Amino acid sequence: MAKLSTLENLADTHGTPLFIVDHDIVRKNYRDFKKYLPRVQVFYAVKANSDPEIIKTLYEQGSSFDVASMNEFLLVHKYIEDLDDDARQKFIWEKIIYANPIKDRGTLRELDKYKPLVTFDNMDEIYKIKEFAPNAGLVLRIKVPNTGAMVELSSKFGADPGTSVEMIETAHSLGLVVEGLSFHVGSQTTNFENYIQALNIAAGIIAEARMKGYEKLKIVDIGGGFPAPYDTNVEPFRELAKKLNSEIDRLFDDKIEIIAEPGRFLVATACTAVASVIGRADRDEKRCYYINDGVYHTFSGIIFDHCKYRLQAFKTGPKEICAVFGPTCDALDTISLAEELPDLDIGDMVYSENIGAYSRASSTWFNGFPPAAIVHINQ
């Protein structure tokens, strides 16, 4: 995080609410991922934070990209529009995966000309891809354990491992090529055993497919879920990496390309929110503060991501338990009912660290309040 003096200066210059992105931290997180998982190619999950400047920084670092909508696809594609056709197509094949397993027909029609990798997890999607995007390469997303993840995904996505080879056979019978498998162990997964089980499930499917003559499976996408260090209960990333490296090398030969879709891990710690107290009241013997940011804006992760963000004050002094609300006329706009802050006056500022993932990405203009302004530092 930037120094407190830097945060205050930026807030004084730009006003609040403010969303500050530190690109040095984005670059550090990317380098750490590559350092500890050298065999794994990074496909940044754009949905975690789709700010174009973050995409630019990661593109310059050599990252590939996981996109889940045409808007996200085009955010990445604009960086290669000036390349010739062959170079542009090579980039799309090697650097982009459209990792939303369910796509509408219009999206598939639009994607087809780009010939990207796309994921699927059911029979209907195979036939849809065949009709509307026959030039795409396919990656089968399988269902794996999500035990202990902050955001569980396996109830919505993933083919049953027992039917996976049948789906590969169906796709090939239609003239499509399944390039590999993918899975997702759930967002902010601190139960590392999820990855071990998922890797073994994937290895078993590949072995069965090869026995039946399907030799073109060459990708294993281990998805996202890599936990951000929100608190000391999260084990260091290097500990997860040790387990992953050992299991990947044991299960997959060099013919298999290993890719991953980190989002939260790359951007969560790179961003800080700064807001101002716009009102205060005492209710039921508890001090209540109202700030000019909330769950319809930067703190949306409280609702959509099941994430808690600790608020801190620039002001020092004895702390007391208080409630903190956002600015809208909706009781849902509650940031915390049990925060510890010093006695604050109207106009005092608070900040929240590690708020870069699945936060401002979901901001709205609800009640007419605009999202926080973005400031980029260390670009």
Kindly write down the DSSP assignment for every residue of 127-172, as one continuous string: HHHHHH-TTSEEEEEB----TTEEE--TTTS-B-GGGHHHHHHHHH
- Per cent of the chain over pLDDT 70 is 99
pLDDT at 82: 85
Q: Residue 80 is encoded by which pair of tokens?
A: 């290669």
Whether residue 2 is predicted with pLDDT greater than 80 in this model: the reply is: no
Segments in 280-364 forming alpha helices (H): 301-304
Q: Report, as an integer, the average pLDDT of 249-272.
A: 96
Rounded to whole angstroms, the Cα distance separating 66 from 260 reads 9
From 288, 307, 322, 329, the catalytic residue: 329
Q: Looking at the chain, which residues constitute the CATH 2.40.37.10 domain(s)? A: 4-19+269-377
- Kindly report the average pLDDT of the chain as a whole number: 95
**Which helix (H) or strand (E) is 31 found in, with range?**
helix 23-36
pLDDT at 1: 66
Q: Does domain 4-19+269-377 have CATH number 2.40.37.10?
A: yes
- Return the CATH architecture of domain 23-267: Alpha-Beta Barrel (3.20)
Residues near 289 by beta carbon (within 8 Å), at least 6 away in sequence: 277, 279, 280, 322, 323, 324, 325, 341, 344, 350
pLDDT digits (tens, 9 = 90+) for 317-349: 999 999 999 999 999 999 999 999 999 999 999
Segments in 177-236 forming alpha helices (H): 193-211
Annotated catalytic residue 329: yes
Rounded to whole angstroms, the Cα distance separating 26 from 268 reads 9
What pTM, to 2 d.p., does this model score? Answer: 0.95
Q: Looking at the chain, which residues constitute the CATH 3.20.20.10 domain(s)? A: 23-267
Query: Which residue reads 């989002």 in tokens?
Result: 263
